[in-house]
Structure 1
Amino acid sequence: MSRYLILFTVILLTVLSYGCANPAANKPKASVANAAPETNPAKPAGAETLAISPENSKVEFVAAKVTRSHNGSFKQFNGTIDLLGNSAEQSRVTIEIETGSVVTDEDQLTGHLKTPDFFDVAKYPKATFVSTKIEPSATGGPGYTVIGNFDLHGVKKSISFPATIQIAPGNV
């Protein structure tokens, strides 16, 4: 009988530890710091301006807690990529997001995100991002680290995140 109890306990602990795993553990991570001075605030001379819109781009996120994760996105946004030659490093990205356009995989969560507890869309209807630096990742390939100032909920912070950037004529 004690063998079965030990076996049951081991199985239960295994299931519980798997169930408590962080679902976002294997996702790329962003980092946050105080806002940095904008080193490239103006469009670079000779840059080609490409539009960012819901027709050609996505703004998505994964929010995780111990028990599960939620997928979400913003449906209304616009911005530009000022592409200088074929160089991501010399280019600039700006984007403006309508915070009220947030949607998630649960209607109740979507509604909650729009309240003053989170985005407070009535008071802060927009979030903005302006890149300050784009640098190749240490691993090479099409990977980059995008660094810039993100203004959300009236607070501006410098963030960095991994990105895959592939450049083709008239397209990024």
Structure 2
Amino acid sequence: MVLSVAFLFVRCSESPKSDKAKTGDAKKVDTTAVTNATTMNVDQASSKVTWVGTKLVDKHNGAFGLKSGSVAIKEGKLTGGSFIIDIKSLKVLDIPADEEGNGKLVTHLLSKDFFAADKFPESTFEIVSVEDYKEENNKDRENLDKKYTLANPTHMITGNLELKGVKKSITFPAKVAIDGDKVTAEAKFNINRKDWGMNYHADESLKDKFIRPTVHIGFNVSAKK
């Protein structure tokens, strides 16, 4: 019976099954890729970064706003760009805003236990390279959760994500659409929070073990001239 209950709890609290971003050391940005490119500014009102965090028995989801950003378009293709994520704009969306639990969770996530927002109020993402999406990248994607997996990606984007003062490169599928003076980009993928030193109290502590290391990230970015 104990094993059955334990199995049920694990089954109910799995992290979203999504594309896993390939993570490595930060990469040098090729500035020639944006030479003579057209710059479009990120529309803050319609752009956001979403997240899903998982505990042993449930999940929470929310979003961050963007402070600023821009993308570079050259010969009709996305060639570069960067944006600044406003960590202090963190919102929890699965708990009603007027409930006490919402405020408590926001405060906890912004504390030194997680984002340490007073010390690191911003996170940055800068594009390193953009490649066409290849059919070979679809391997095993049919087993992923449709809700958390991008349908019909068009590109593979590699960029440097800096969080809590740690900069790592990540590569993930994205859907990029360019329509005249407007660009939209969408992505859904998983990262390991520990790669950026985000541990609850200490790494491998009992409290940290109650929170899944996998965090689901969504990029929804719109830019225009």
| Smaller-chain TM-score bracket | 0.7 to 0.9
Greater radius of gyration (CA)? 1
Are 2:20 and 1:29 aligned? yes
Give per-residue Cα distances to partners, 1:56-81, cap 9 Å, x unaligned. 32211222234222211112421000
Matched residue of 1:109: which SS?
Answer: helix
- In the alignment of these two chains, the number of paired residues is 158
Indicate how the Cα distance of structure 1 residues 33 and 19 shifts in structure 2: closer, same or farther if over 3 A, else same.
same
Give per-residue Cα distances to partners, 1:126-153, cap 9 Å, x unaligned. 1111111111222386521211111111
Conserved? CA contact 1:142–1:166, under 8 Å: no
Matched residue of 1:112: which SS?
Answer: helix
Indicate how the Cα distance of structure 1 residues 22 and 51 shifts in structure 2: closer, same or farther if over 3 A, else same.
same
Give per-residue Cα distances to partners, 1:6-55, cap 9 Å, x unaligned. xxx7xx67x82784351412x333232111122x2467222111111322
Which of 1 and 2 has higher RCO (CA within 8 Å, sep 6+)?
Answer: 2
- 83, 89, 104: which one pairs with 1:108? 104
The one-letter code of the counterpart of 1:20 is C
Give the fraction of aligned pairs with identical amino acids, expressed as a percent.
29
- 130, 150, 163: which one pairs with 1:152? 163
CA distance in 1, matches of 2:21, 2:58: 19
Matched residue of 1:29: which SS?
Answer: coil
Bigger mean CA offset, 47-56 vs 136-145: 136-145
Displaced runs of 4+ in structure 1, greater than 6 A? none
Higher strand share: 2
Please list, as runs of the form range in 1=range in 2, the aligned pairs for 1:43-82 lying within 5 A after superposition: 44-82=34-72
* CA-CA distance at 1:94 after TM superposition: 0.3
Are 2:12 and 1:20 aligned? yes
Give TM-score scaled by structure 1 length. 0.79
Give TM-score scaled by structure 2 length. 0.62
Conserved? CA contact 1:24–1:69, under 8 Å: no
Give per-residue Cα distances to partners, 1:70-111, cap 9 Å, x unaligned. 2111124210001112113xx102011121111113332221
Indicate how the Cα distance of structure 1 residues 28 and 77 shifts in structure 2: closer, same or farther if over 3 A, else same.
farther
Matched residue of 1:131: which SS?
Answer: strand
Please list, as runs of the form range in 1=range in 2, the aligned pairs for 1:86-125 lying within 5 A after superposition: 86-88=76-78, 91-105=79-93, 106-125=102-121
Note the aligned Cα RMSD (angstroms).
2.5
Indicate how the Cα distance of structure 1 residues 18 and 113 shifts in structure 2: closer, same or farther if over 3 A, else same.
closer
- 179, 182, 201: which one pairs with 1:171? 182
The one-letter code of the counterpart of 1:138 is K
Unaligned runs of 5+ in 2: 94-101, 138-151, 184-225
